[in-house]
Amino acid sequence: MSDYYTWSQFVAEVKKLIPLEAQRKGVGSSADDFLLSYIRQGVIQLQNIVESFRVGHETIYEISDLVQEGLALKGIKPPQSAIRNIVFFERKDDGFDRYESESYPWSKRTDLTSGAIPVNDNIAKVAIDPQGYSFYIYPTPAKGEEWAVSMTWDGKKLDFKDDELVPFTEQMALAVAYFVAANVALYSDEDSAKFDRYITMYDREKPRLFISAKENSEMKGRQ
């Protein structure tokens, strides 16, 4: 296995580790949708424990992902995200040109002051709304220009694309599998004894996951 799973590979790994008695149809939904819902919830919960799972995410916005609002383009930030950096990419015949923003304390902003990004001798400005839900890009691209915006951010990630790389480990997959099994027992089987058994196994895996992630982080720091 490579250093990283894609999200779809991680989901497949979790499903392999879910006890057979928990791999069943969920109430009111297909088995796959039911399990996937709790896999995602388990991942979201475990990000609280391991700091390295909450840092350095990247979200790519194509122009089609943004909406026109006045003279600017508006995009939706990932929920509760602290921005590290924003990079513009402009498509050229031979690939993409990269334009990084000037140094700016994105996570501390309380107003609409923009970080300036030079693009093709012009200045594209990025502003975050005071509530931190949206961002704005001005001016909008000229007709025929093809831009993409890369936002690097920290925080809990709530959703994943099938082909994106995730920093989750096999140990993480095992913990999530027990979380899923516990929820199947509770909401599908209505079996409190099974729930108690699997949630206990899940709770045992959480400190192991924390210690393992800390050791891996320290090892990478020494390299």
- The pLDDT tens digits for 146-164 are 778 888 899 999 999 899 8
Residue 113: what pLDDT?
47
Longest dimension (CA), the chain: 66
171 contacts 5 by C-beta, under 8 angstroms: no
Closest by CA position to 149, among listed 215, 76, 220, 205: 76
Fold of 56-154: Immunoglobulin-like (2.60.40)
- The pLDDT tens digits for 77-117 are 998 888 888 887 876 666 666 665 555 555 554 444 445 55
Domain residue extents for the chain: 5-53+161-216, 56-154
Mean pLDDT, the chain, integer: 80
Residue 105: what pLDDT?
53
DSSP codes joined into one string, 149-180? EEEEEES------TTSEE---HHHHHHHHHHH
Which of 12-21, 40-49, 50-59, 128-137 has the largest mean confidence?
Answer: 40-49
Residue 116: what pLDDT?
52
Residue 177: what pLDDT?
96
- The pLDDT tens digits for 176-212 are 999 999 998 988 878 899 999 999 999 999 999 999 8
Closest by CA position to 134, among listed 203, 187, 61: 61
Q: Give CA–CA dist 183/38, Å, rounded.
A: 7
pTM: 0.76
Residue 12: what pLDDT?
94
Q: Give CA–CA dist 7/80, Å, rounded.
A: 21
183 contacts 163 by C-beta, under 8 angstroms: no
Residue 97: what pLDDT?
67
Q: Which residue has the higher pLDDT, 172 or 187?
A: 172
Q: Which residue has the higher pLDDT, 109 or 38?
A: 38
Q: Give CA–CA dist 111/99, Å, rounded.
A: 23
Kindly give the residue spans of alpha helices, DSSP state H, lying in the chain: 7-17, 31-46, 170-187, 192-222
Give the number of other Cβ atoms within 10 Å of residue 212's Cβ: 15
Across the range 5-14, mean pLDDT stands at 94
Q: Cα separations (Å) of 1 from 40, 132, 170, 208?
A: 22, 38, 10, 21
